[in-house]
Amino acid sequence: MMSLPNALTREEIIRWLHEKNEEKLHQLWQWADEIRTSVVGDEVHLRGLIEISNHCSRRCSYCGINAGNTSLVRYRMEKQEIMDCVDMAQKFGYGTVVIQGGEDYGIKKEWMDDIIRDIKSRTDLAVTLSLGERPIDDLEMWRAAGANRYLLRFETSDRTLYEKIHPSMKSTIFDRVEMLRTLRNIGYEIGGGIMVGIPGQTYVSVYNDLCTFQEMDLDMIGVGPYLPHPHTPLGTEGEEIRKQTPDQIANTELMTCKVVALTRILCPEANIPSTTALGTIDRQLGRVHGLQRGANVLMPNITPLHYRKLYEIYPEKAGNDSTPAETDQLLKELIAGLGRRRGKGPGGRLHTPHRSEEDSRGLPGIHKRMRGRTLIT
Ligand code: SAH
């Protein structure tokens, strides 16, 4: 066991993000992996992902299903189709279904409420929602129906960059960090996260993202590389922006792994997926590296194949042509090959004893919460 520092300074984090030396990086991977083993263990939790709709009212400049992309055929799954996927998740022994979609106001709150209630009455599955910035009424209704978790990446903590890539809608004043706080108060486990290597994103900006993960005490943290989509504004203008940004951070597999590892070190208890985007940028090693460098979750896609190519947030998503049974087999082998095991049960956040009852309500101060653990100083 290495002797581990119990604090990381801003300079150290930025140095790690710049690090190129393989031996040094090996220490980072080992450090993250040791924390992963000792805090969340060897179980890899599997979340069956159902991409229920590619309709979207937003114009996020990075995302292939944004409202401005008129070359895309739009779909919304029927309730029965969703329930069939839920049955499949159960059959494969997954503990959670993740219901994801564009910000689609054709998804009525009552319709979703009914689906959540059906899933909860028929199965023991945890339900995670990822449906964008919905009104509080909707979020409260879905929580009351039994939804357990909500994923809403804040994409970047750099306000100026965020406003450029994620234009707000006239009718809403939502700030994603604020909305995550609201979700926690309503009683959801909350998941945030970022894309790594957005054109215009700097090293300091990613350092600030890591601070935000820790300050917010997120239950789930998704980190994936930004992948350009040709039918998006950022897909066409991104290269130029990248060239003009001093200190631009790379959207590589390596950089994403560094951010995953640092996330585990700074947020030991979080559930961290090895993302499909990481598996897309390096089809052979991306997802394996994620699991070896801090991650403890995989999200097999169980969406019907004919919808998957239409849920094109970025091109050529890894595993898009594999049936759920093929994916299941592949992931089984991948997990066993790493000497790990499939998680049992819903796989929600484990609370280690240093976190008092009082801490788990509201948002605790990092110093109190992180006593004796790694923290940013
Ligand atoms: N409508 C939901 C779900 C969006 S898709 C929401 O807005 O939260 C889920 C995630 O995919 C996004 O949060 C974003 O981080 C990621 N994503 C979107 N476009 C991407 C791209 N071009 N490259 C990499 N990741 C992307």
CA 102–ligand 1 middle distance (angstroms): 9
Q: Per the domain annotation, does 96 fall within a domain?
A: yes
Q: How confident is the model at residue 233 (pLDDT cuts 50, 70, 90)?
A: very high
Q: What is the mean pLDDT of residues 195-202?
A: 98
Domain count, the chain: 1
Say whether pLDDT at 170 is over 80. no
Distance CA 23, CA 234 (A): 35
CA 1–ligand 1 middle distance (angstroms): 37
Q: Per the domain annotation, does 163 fall within a domain?
A: yes
Q: How confident is the model at residue 374 (pLDDT cuts 50, 70, 90)?
A: confident
Say whether pLDDT at 357 is over 80. no
User: Which whole-number Å values give the CA distances from 54 to 74, 133, 336, in the listed order?
Assistant: 6, 15, 34
CA 195–ligand 1 middle distance (angstroms): 8
Q: What is the mean pLDDT of residues 17-34?
A: 98
CA 308–ligand 1 middle distance (angstroms): 14
Can you give the residue range of the structural domain that contains 88? 10-374
Residue 206 in tokens? 């990613």
pLDDT at 235: 96
Q: How confident is the model at residue 363 (pLDDT cuts 50, 70, 90)?
A: very low
Residue 271 DSSP symbol: B
Question: pTM score > 0.85 for this model?
Answer: yes
| Residue among 50, 63, 134, 198 to mutate when testing ligand 1 (max atoms within 8 A of CB) | 63
User: Which whole-number Å values give the CA distances from 64 to 167, 193, 313, 328, in the listed order?
Assistant: 15, 18, 4, 26
Say whether pLDDT at 353 is over 90. no
Say whether pLDDT at 259 is over 70. yes
In whole numbers, what is the pLDDT of the chain averaged over residues? 92
Q: Where are the beta strands (DSSP E) in the chain?
A: 7-8, 43-53, 96-101, 126-130, 149-151, 189-196, 220-225, 297-298, 341-342, 375-376
pLDDT at 364: 38
pLDDT at 7: 77
In the chain, the amino acid numbered 205 is S
Nearest protein CA to atom 19 of ligand 1, as residue: 63
Residues with CB under 6 A from ligand 1: 62-63, 100, 102-103, 130, 132, 152-153, 155, 195, 224, 226-227, 229, 277, 313-314
Q: Per the domain annotation, does 103 fall within a domain?
A: yes
Q: Per the domain annotation, does 52 fall within a domain?
A: yes
Is 302 within 8 Å of 48 (Cβ atoms)?
yes
Q: Per the domain annotation, does 107 fall within a domain?
A: yes
Q: What is the mean pLDDT of residues 334-348?
A: 96
The per-residue pLDDT for range 34-70, each reduced to its tens digit, is 999 999 999 999 999 999 999 999 999 999 999 999 9
Nearest protein CA to atom 4 of ligand 1, as residue: 102
Distance CA 183, CA 103 (A): 16
CA 321–ligand 1 middle distance (angstroms): 20
Q: Per the domain annotation, does 285 fall within a domain?
A: yes
CATH code of residue 142: 3.20.20.70
Q: How confident is the model at residue 137 (pLDDT cuts 50, 70, 90)?
A: very high
Q: Per the domain annotation, does 182 fall within a domain?
A: yes
Residue 172 in tokens? 């809403």
Q: Per the domain annotation, does 1 fall within a domain?
A: no
Say whether pLDDT at 167 is over 70. yes
For residue 194, give the ligand 1 atom closest to its CA.
15
CA 4–ligand 1 middle distance (angstroms): 34
